[in-house]
Structure 1
Amino acid sequence: MSQRLIPLLGTLFLAVTLAACSTDASPASPSASADAASPDAAAPPAHTVSADKAAAKPAQEASPRAYTDLYGEVSIPADPQRVLVTSSRYAEYLASMGEAPDMVLYTSSVEPEYRTQYLQEQGVEIIEYPQYEHNFELLLSLAPDLIVAPGISVDESTYEQMTKIAPTVALDSTVGMEESMPKLAQLFDKQSESDAEMAAYHAKTAEAASQLEQALGDRTVLVLRVEAKQYRYLGDDEQRGGAIKLLYHDLGLNVPPAIAGAEDWFTPFSLEFLPEIDPDYILLEQRVVDGEDGTEFYDQLMKSSLWKGLRAVKEGHVIPVTTQDLVQGEGPIGYANFTDELVKRLTALQ
């Protein structure tokens, strides 16, 4: 789509307005935002737009179209030249469908290793961005002509500020693959590509589930998360998606009976509860959040007699996993990689 000419006076007014409003934006809380960010990250320097990148796609004469997102109807440019997505998972989903966005907001410290290289190979411009914060001046400097964001991470106030920069789609969705990919496919008319990606992914996890069933039988697996100020275990409510759906549903791992039916994504617990859970295997995550450090609680766990007395610990059945791979790495590529590694490591313990 041809870029719109914005009068200089209007641009200056918008910049001043956003600068005044940016300090009022309410960042999402770490517990509500599924491991995407940190409240202590400093804002990066302003990013300038590459003229070559902006001209990479040929403009076409076509009419905008209407799309209904979380907050109402949005006028979508017919051929956007500067698509910005605010979720790295969304960037992977779109790239896997052959619709790589032009730019993605990115916090490198919490991203899986493969993703940076993959997105760069797909021509996606990676924009370093603070976690659990909003930097509207930076977004303005990127000159997007379409912004796509998970609705779960964009409150109404933030959405209003984004719409002053470019047409913004707050997808009525979480960041989860199973829920988001079909909606992104609809937005960009990539339904067949999305269906093919998901079919390949489900075929892979079905094969892996068969291998794990043969290797583990009815033995149980606990996902234990160590954070800066607490311990939490992964629930098994399939509707939560993400790692829950992958581990306990797609791969068919058995949740310990003592925590079966937990409705939360991750549930806080005290170490005194560990002997009651007593799983056969433990996937141990020391959570990575930009600006937080869980080393103290991790060390306490390692020294605890309750931890040392667990069957999985005594038998050497503890597998470290990273936040980057377990949570942030959700995607047709990331979870395929994670599945391969998990099958290899679990079966090797037999």
Structure 2
Amino acid sequence: MKKGRSLVLIVATLLLFVIFTGCSNKEEEGKTESNTRVVSSLKGDVKIPANPKRIADISGASEDLVILGHTPVATANGDAYNTKEFPDYLKDKMGDAKIVGYNMSDTMDVEAILDTNPDLIIMSERQAKIYDQLKEIAPVVMMKDYANDWRTRMVDVAKLFGQEEDAKKWLSDYDKKAQEAGKQIIEKNGDQTYLSVLASGGQFFVLADAGIGGIFYNDMKLKKPVNLPKQQGISLPVVTIEGLSQIDADHIIVIATDADKKALESSSVWKSMRAVKDGKATILNSTPYFTQGYQPIGKELLLDTIKEEVTKK
């Protein structure tokens, strides 16, 4: 009888052990699942941390991340004219983020990314050739090249964290500010036209659907000059200074380096332009204003700058 009772006790103990172990394993599996989420990327579904703490972003979306409350540890959002430094308007918003390359480039400093110990890497398809190296470091989300479609990029980045509604609210608030600024400009100036260009080595890259030009026409809903050339993708239309004079806008904002500014101001063609003679031409420094016109935090800050510049004359 004693042997029988002992056998029953042993079997019961083993059963309890198996049940406890099974429950424990399921609990651990549940914890693991709750700590991760599956998201879509150009490389298929990717399991990423549910709440990543150390994000390396080389896609160009670092300002989107900051807006959503995620300051990256590594970034490629340096200034277009000094890619190893942040533009002035962004310096106080990037914390200790390390610049590991420039987002328009097809490669990055992989060792520098590794040194930041990321738990998530966000990259663009333009950097596809280093994908295999990066996925050895941390989970990688490859996003498409959004060109000038910064709004879709922000929403898609937000989807990675379940923050799509946050992104949409920010964009809605931005549009209200931009359209209100546009209304105020029209009230002050009337039905006038606006143009923005980038001066570079005697040529002028027309910001027809990007940068400050995109803010003028798409966001503020201001009027385009009749002769505004069309933009294809990210490639900016290029004109000579004579071509610039033929666009003939009421207001013009030129983004220029110091050297380009000097060359421009010594040009008889520039001096003969209607906007220049009417005191309605503004020259802004290439750093930070070129980069600023392409990124969301920069765009929002530019609304007041643009309004001030085109209504002060």
1:321 is aligned to 284
Cα 1:204–1:326 change in 2 (3 A) is farther
Residue identity matched to 1:284: V
Which of 183, 198, 202 does residue 210 from structure 1 map onto?
183
Residue identity matched to 2:203: Q
Task: Give me the whole-angstrom Cα distance separating, in 1, the residues matched to 2:240 and 2:185.
Answer: 30
Which of 225, 250, 266 does residue 280 from structure 1 map onto?
250
| Contact 2:124 2:143 (8 Å CA) reproduced | yes
TM-score of the aligned structures, taking structure 1 as reference length: 0.69
Residue identity matched to 1:309: S
1:253 is aligned to 222
Question: CA offset at residue 330 of structure 1?
Answer: 4.2
Instruction: Give the alignment of 1:47-86 within 5 angstroms.
Output: 61-63=31-33, 64-86=36-58
Task: Give me the whole-angstrom Cα distance separating, in 1, the residues matched to 2:188 and 2:77.
Answer: 38
Instruction: Give the alignment of 1:216-231 within 5 angstroms.
Output: 216-228=189-201, 230-231=203-204
SS in 1 for 2:246: helix
| Contact 2:196 2:213 (8 Å CA) reproduced | no
Question: CA offset at residue 173 of structure 1?
Answer: 4.5
2:71 is aligned to 100
- Deviation per CA, 1:224-245: give whole Å up to 9, x if none: 2112473211124xxxx65443
- Deviation per CA, 1:158-199: give whole Å up to 9, x if none: 222222222111223427531111111111111222122112
Task: Give me the whole-angstrom Cα distance separating, in 1, the residues matched to 2:76 and 2:247.
Answer: 39
Task: Give me the whole-angstrom Cα distance separating, in 1, the residues matched to 2:78 and 2:211.
Answer: 19
Cα 1:71–1:227 change in 2 (3 A) is farther
SS in 1 for 2:218: helix
Instruction: Give the alignment of 1:105-116 within 5 angstroms.
Output: 105-107=76-78, 109=82, 111-116=86-91
| Contact 1:173 1:179 (8 Å CA) reproduced | no
SS in 1 for 2:32: coil
- Deviation per CA, 1:125-154: give whole Å up to 9, x if none: 321334435211212222212101233x42
Question: CA offset at residue 334 of structure 1?
Answer: 2.3
Task: Give me the whole-angstrom Cα distance separating, in 2, the residues matched to 1:262 and 1:217.
Answer: 26
Cα 1:140–1:183 change in 2 (3 A) is same
Q: Kindly name which structure, 1 or 2, has the bigger radius of gyration based on alpha carbons.
A: 2
Cα 1:309–1:196 change in 2 (3 A) is same
Residue identity matched to 1:137: E
More helix by share: 2
Segment drifting more, 178-187 vs 142-151 = 142-151
Segment drifting more, 259-268 vs 271-280 = 259-268
TM-score of the aligned structures, taking structure 2 as reference length: 0.77
Q: How many pairs align?
A: 272
- Deviation per CA, 1:82-130: give whole Å up to 9, x if none: 211125x52222222233334434535354322110232xxxx321334
SS in 2 for 1:147: strand
2:94 is aligned to 119
- Deviation per CA, 1:15-73: give whole Å up to 9, x if none: xxxxxxxxxxxxxxxxxxxxxxxxxxxxxxxxxxxxxxxxxxxxx94323332212333
Cα 1:129–1:312 change in 2 (3 A) is same
Residue identity matched to 1:129: V
| Contact 1:177 1:242 (8 Å CA) reproduced | no
Which of 144, 152, 167 does residue 118 from structure 2 map onto?
144
Residue identity matched to 2:180: E
Task: Give me the whole-angstrom Cα distance separating, in 1, the residues matched to 2:98 and 2:300.
Answer: 25
- Deviation per CA, 1:312-339: give whole Å up to 9, x if none: 1112211123442343354443222210
Cα 1:161–1:230 change in 2 (3 A) is farther
Residue identity matched to 1:118: K
Cα 1:188–1:327 change in 2 (3 A) is same
Cα 1:91–1:258 change in 2 (3 A) is same
SS in 1 for 2:121: strand
- Deviation per CA, 1:231-269: give whole Å up to 9, x if none: 211124xxxx65443211211222221125443542111
Cα 1:142–1:101 change in 2 (3 A) is closer
1:197 is aligned to 170
Task: Give me the whole-angstrom Cα distance separating, in 1, the residues matched to 2:133 and 2:101.
Answer: 17
| Contact 1:148 1:170 (8 Å CA) reproduced | yes
Task: Give me the whole-angstrom Cα distance separating, in 2, the residues matched to 1:340 and 1:252.
Answer: 15
Residue identity matched to 1:314: K
1:338 is aligned to 302
